[in-house]
Amino acid sequence: MSKRYKVIAYGGYDGLKFPDLVVRFTSGYAIPLHVKQDEYVPLQILDPFDIQKSLIVGSLGRYIKGGQIIVEDDEEPKEEKKEEETTKIETLKQEEPKKEELPKPTVEEPKPQPQVEKKSDEKPLTDLSQVKTYEDFCKLTFFLKIEFIKKHADKALLQQILEKTNSPQLQNHVQIRLSLID
C-alpha cells in the first residue's frame, strides 16, 4: 500500500511551502512545491528520491512531526485504479460524439498598413554623410535613422523629418534632438 500526505494546517496564502521538493517542468523551469490546506502532496509529479530525502531530513518530515501533515494509507491498490481508468476510456470511446456546429469565427480583414518610408527597389544607405535630403533619410535603415537624428544639427531637415515620418519612435527622437539644439 502506498501512502498519501494530507496538509491539515493552514500555511498562509500559498499553503505549506516545501523548499526541498521542487516541481520541474519540461522547459527546465523549476519551482518549490506549495500545497494548500486539505489537499494532498502531489507525489506523482515529484522525484521519488527527493521525497525520500525530504521525509528523512527535509520539510516533509518536519511537517509530519509537527502535525501540519497527516499520513494516510491509499485505500485502493493501483491495479484496480488502472482497470477503472481503462473501462472509463472504453465507455467514452463507445459513446458516439455529438456533432455540434460551432459558430465560425469572424476573421477581420487586416487593415492596409501605410507605405513604409523605405522603397524596396533602392538599396539602403550606410554612410550618414551622404544624407542631405528627406529622400536620402528614407533610404537609411531604422537604426541608422536614429543615429542620424542624434548626430545631425540641421533644424530644417529635422523639422521636415518630424512632419513627414509616421514612426512615433523617430518623431520622439527628432523632438528630443530639436530641443537639445535650441
pLDDT, one tens digit per residue, over 110-166 is 666 665 555 555 666 777 888 888 988 888 888 889 898 988 888 899 999 999 988
3-state helix, strand, coil in the chain (%, to 5): 45, 15, 40
Look at residue 14 and tell me if it is in a domain. Answer: yes
According to DSSP, the residues that pair with 73 across neighbouring strands are 3
Counted residue by residue, the chain has a size of 182
Domain span holding position 16: 3-73
69: which 3 cell numbers? 501533515
What is the domain count for the chain? 2
Look at residue 23 and tell me if it is in a domain. Answer: yes
25: which 3 cell numbers? 517542468
Look at residue 100 and tell me if it is in a domain. Answer: no
Look at residue 106 and tell me if it is in a domain. Answer: no
User: What digits encode the pLDDT tens for the residues 53-82?
Assistant: 999 999 989 989 988 889 988 775 555 556
Look at residue 103 and tell me if it is in a domain. Answer: no
Helix (H, G, I), strand (E, B) or coil at 144: helix
Look at residue 89 and tell me if it is in a domain. Answer: no
